[in-house]
Amino acid sequence: MSVPSVVLNNGHKMPILGLGTWGSPKGEVAQAVKDAIDIGYRHIDCAHVYENEHEVGEGLNAKIQEGVIKREDVFITSKLWNTFHDPRLVRGACETTLKNLNTPYLDMYLIHWPMAYKEGGPLFPKNDKGEILFSDVDYLDTWKEMEKLVDDGLCKSIGLSNFNKRQIERVLGACRIQPGTNQVECHPYLNQKRLIDFCKSKNISVTAYSPLGSPNRPWAQPGDPVLLEDPKITSIASKYKKSPAQILIRYQIQRGIIVIPKSVNKKRIAENFNVFDFELNADDIALIDTIDCNGRFVPLAGAHGHPHHPFEKDEF
């Protein structure tokens, strides 16, 4: 079956369901991409900082060579990392991603976070105390370079990730090409209703990362709430004879949100795709909405204090 798409503000179509690759173990990503394409996924979400784009490219190109897909059948997103915000570095960073993915263009390229880090060193540059070293590049200057990537055919669409309302407004006030999407952490504990309503009012689509509550995040602590085990989610899952993960993915699809669950397990990749044969009713959605608690699993605490950190001063 073909996955429904969201039409972006430039007319390009972005499949509403994709495969996330953040935290996918090295050595397993190429196979996960191959499995996902065989199952029917046509949207893969990547990023330079995940350090596995060469494996994504391997899986993707294997399926192109087999004739299962053509390049234009798949929507590929990647993200510009924080150490490459300097306008002089943007194009080179994009070209590195294209080389790693072994593809001539990206369908979507996002500024991964609004904060810039010190250029020219590791992905997480730190001082002697282990604190992240910041750069003072303004993301508006970065955005101007992102626009040139579209002009030159390296990217079909560009967008944002982890930007708050005020930051999006700044980009909209200065841009020549509007952001196509804002990719943010989004799940029932952090349902992002206000930010989604704002983005929709500006004709910007929203992509939900960590839609299952990021159960494999490396910094999880014993006793942290587990979204997949929330009694309200599990009760709805048993009602529909679906898994909690399928309920969480379906919830986003019915809100018109693009959703990118991550897995390298073939059975789960298939299960996460099998969400188009049922529909949650209005009562289910209302019940899921009651568990919102502004519960963020990916706070990027190491960058607190950065003037462009999106989660410190602003409401949403």
The amino acid occupying position 94 is C
How far apart, in whole angstroms, are the C-alpha atoms of residue 79 and residue 56? 14
Inter-CA distances, 5 with 8, 10, 65, Å: 9, 14, 25
**Helix, strand, coil share of the chain (percent; to 5):** 40, 15, 45
Q: 188 φ, ψ to 5°?
A: -60, -25
Instruction: Decide: helix, strand or coil at residue 287.
Output: helix
How far apart, in whole angstroms, are the C-alpha atoms of residue 214 and residue 202? 28
Radius of gyration for the chain, computed over Cα atoms and rounded to the nearest angstrom: 19
Q: Annotated binding site for substrate: which residue ranges?
A: 112
Question: 207, 260 in Cβ contact below 8 A?
Answer: yes
In sequence order, what are the residues at sequence separation of 6 or more whose Cβ sits closer than 8 angstroms to the Cβ of residue 207?
14, 45, 77, 161, 181, 182, 183, 184, 257, 258, 259, 260
State the DSSP code for 190.
Answer: B
Q: Catalytic residue positions?
A: 50
How far apart, in whole angstroms, are the C-alpha atoms of residue 195 and residue 186? 10
Q: Annotated binding site: which residue ranges?
A: 112
Neighbours of 193 (CB within 10 A): 13
